[in-house]
Structures are given as structure tokens and as C-alpha cells.
């Protein structure tokens, strides 16, 4: 009986260099798949249409904004005058206290100091109320700017819908845009929709 041996069974394993080649082949295939995926996602991102606007530039061109700004400036000046008058009264009260300090009794001195302390607190409270974070000026600015902001938002939405843009970036809000091609800036087109020249 003649039995044939299967020589492939007895051949040597590929050895270290053979394993290395097969691992390299696997890694090359993974790398090709990764590069293809990146190219596909980059082309998909390029397919998105986006624009940039500058709301600060748009507002500066709007006559309504100038009116709002004038109104806010007048209010701020009136409130600042009110604060200045209170500061003058406080300074005068301090001068009186300094000039009379040595002649006052301990009770009268304490009463004057309490009065000065209360006037200082009232002044600080008034400054905070008028010009502090979420104070009167902040609230008034938001109240007067809300209709203008809404008007600009509607114009931007119309531009987006009419032209089929996917994304709008505002370069006046923060410093997230370092450079952009001027062709992408559609602020003037928004102004046209607002009928502003």
C-alpha cells in the first residue's frame, strides 16, 4: 500500500518574517479603509453649504440701531448724572464730618458715621442697579435690541432657506473664526434683505 504524505502539512511555519508580512498586510488594509473613510467624511463636510455673517457690521449699518444706541446713551447719561449727584452729596458729607470730627460727641460721631455708611451703601446699590450685571442698562439694551435682533434673524433665515445653506456662523460673536474667505461673508446680502444700504 502506497500512502502519500501531504507535504503541505509538514512544511515549516512562515516564521517571524512571514508573520510580520501578514500583520503588515492587515494593517495596510485597515489604513486604506481609514483613509477612504476620512476622504468620504471630508467630501461630505465640503458638500455642506455654510456662510458667515457679521451681526455687529449689520447692526452698525441699520438706522434703527443708531436710534436704539442714542436712546441707551441718553438713559446712561441720565443715570450717571443721578449717581454723580449722590457722590457729590456723599463727598460733601465726608468733608463736613472731617471738619467737625473733633468737636462731635461720641454719640454724634457714631450717628454721622452710620449716616455716611448708609449713604455709601445707597450709592453702591444705585450703581449696581443702574449699571451692574443685569442692571437697568443691561435690561433696557436687551429690551430695545430684541426687535432688531429678531428682524436680522428673520432676514438670515430667509437667506438660508432661499439659498439652501446648512450652517451660519457669526464672526462678531467671539473669536472662534480665525480666518474665512471673504466670499463666504453674506452680511451685505442680509442688509439687502433688510432694505439697508
pLDDT over threshold 60, residue 12: no
pLDDT digits (tens, 9 = 90+) for 89-117: 999 999 999 998 788 898 999 999 999 99
For the record, the C-alpha cell of 29 comes out as 488594509
Q: What percent of the chain has pLDDT over 70?
A: 75
- Asked if residue 76 lies in contact with residue 127, where contact means CB atoms within 8 angstroms, the answer is no
- The counts of H helices and E strands in the chain are 7, 2
List the domain boundaries for the chain.
51-193
Q: Which CATH class is domain 51-193?
A: alpha beta
Instruction: Identify the pLDDT of residue 9.
Output: 46
The separation between the first and the last C-alpha atoms of the chain, rounded to the nearest angstrom, is 104
pLDDT digits (tens, 9 = 90+) for 28-67: 556 556 666 666 565 555 567 889 999 999 999 999 999 9
Looking at per-residue pLDDT, the higher value among 20 and 136 belongs to 136
Using a 10 angstrom Cβ sphere, with 0-12 exposed, 13-18 middle and 19 or more buried, the burial of residue 90 is middle
Amino acid at each position: 500500500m502506497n500512502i502519500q504524505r501531504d507535504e503541505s502539512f509538514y512544511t515549516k511555519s512562515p516564521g517571524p518574517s512571514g508573520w510580520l508580512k501578514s500583520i503588515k498586510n492587515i494593517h495596510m488594509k485597515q489604513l486604506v479603509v481609514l483613509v477612504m473613510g476620512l476622504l468620504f467624511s471630508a467630501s461630505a463636510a465640503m458638500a455642506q453649504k455654510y456662510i458667515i455673517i457679521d451681526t455687529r457690521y449689520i447692526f452698525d449699518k441699520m438706522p434703527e440701531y443708531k436710534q436704539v444706541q442714542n436712546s441707551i446713551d441718553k438713559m446712561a447719561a441720565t443715570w450717571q448724572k443721578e449717581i454723580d449727584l449722590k457722590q457729590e452729596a456723599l463727598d460733601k458729607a465726608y468733608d463736613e464730618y472731617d471738619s467737625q470730627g473733633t468737636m462731635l460727641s461720641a454719640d454724634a460721631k457714631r450717628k454721622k458715621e452710620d449716616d455716611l455708611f448708609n449713604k455709601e451703601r445707597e450709592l453702591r446699590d444705585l450703581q449696581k442697579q443702574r449699571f451692574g450685571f443685569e442692571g437697568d442698562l443691561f435690561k433696557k439694551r436687551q429690551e430695545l435690541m430684541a426687535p432688531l435682533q429678531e428682524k436680522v434673524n428673520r432676514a438670515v433665515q430667509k437667506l438660508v432657506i432661499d439659498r439652501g445653506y446648512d450652517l451660519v456662523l457669526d464672526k462678531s460673536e467671539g473669536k472662534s473664526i480665525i480666518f474665512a474667505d471673504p466670499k463666504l461673508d453674506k452680511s451685505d446680502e442680509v442688509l439687502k434683505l433688510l432694505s439697508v444700504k
